[in-house]
Amino acid sequence: MQQSKKSAITKQKILDAAEAEFAKNGLAATRVDTIAAEAGVNKQLIYSHFTSKENLYSTILERVYSRLADYEKRLAQNEFTGIETIRTAIIEYFEFLVQNPTFVRLMLWENLNNASYVGDVRTNLFAGSEKLLRQGVESGMIRADLDIEQTAMSMSMFCFSAFSNIHTMSKLLGRDLNAQSEMQKRAGHVADVLTKYILSKEDFPLC
């Protein structure tokens, strides 16, 4: 096996193990020894690739945020064809969070740490959502006075909150909100609330 290929495989193993450990324990409680053991590599190889635990953590944040950037990029390739376009975007973001549990946990840890490392991440946050909303306003189907940036933020945060509080809410309500049927119900509700809010007043009078 070529040395460059072997090095790439080793680096991938380190990243996979690090993502799982940082998502589980956060930066402070994660040990490089544990990452090395999970990756099946010598600890010195981790320092060789990333120089420090903090740099490895920053790399992991960039890694998970790149998935969100890819989602927004795909979203931006769509065209607004009606209010169902926005509804679909919300449902798909819910699905993105279902498929990326480490993203949710890492964002929770980073919030607890006052976003100490996420500031180094570069991504076009909400680019796809804002484009579709803007096209909707231009079409006349979405209310002209809509605050596009705030609405794109709400599309993200309303969905994220279903995951950030899922364990406590499940305990308090006495049912598993992580179940597929519960997820579908929540995603549908969030989509209903937001799409009705953004509709043009001619289509859905607010008073």
* Residue labelled with tokens 């320092």: 47
**pLDDT value, residue 107:** 93
Q: Tokens for 80, please give them.
A: 């607004």
Which CATH code for domain 64-198? 1.10.357
Distance CA(189)–CA(203), nearest Å, equals 19
Tell me: pLDDT of 201 over 70: no
Confidence of residue 125 (pLDDT cuts 50, 70, 90): confident
72 backbone dihedrals φ, ψ, rounded to 5° = -65, -35
For residues 80 and 132, is the Cβ–Cβ distance under 8 A? yes
Residues 6 or more apart whose CB falls under 8 angstroms from that of 82 comprise 141
132-188, pLDDT tens digit by residue?
Answer: 999 999 999 999 999 999 999 999 999 999 999 899 999 999 999 999 999 999 999
Extents of the domains making up the chain: 1-51, 64-198
The topology (CATH level 3) of 1-51 is Arc Repressor Mutant, subunit A (1.10.10)
Residue with the bigger pLDDT between 69 and 85: it is 85
**pLDDT value, residue 190:** 96
2-60, pLDDT tens digit by residue?
Answer: 767 778 889 999 999 999 999 999 999 999 999 999 999 999 999 999 999 999 999 99
Confidence of residue 205 (pLDDT cuts 50, 70, 90): very low
pTM of the predicted structure, to 2 decimals: 0.86
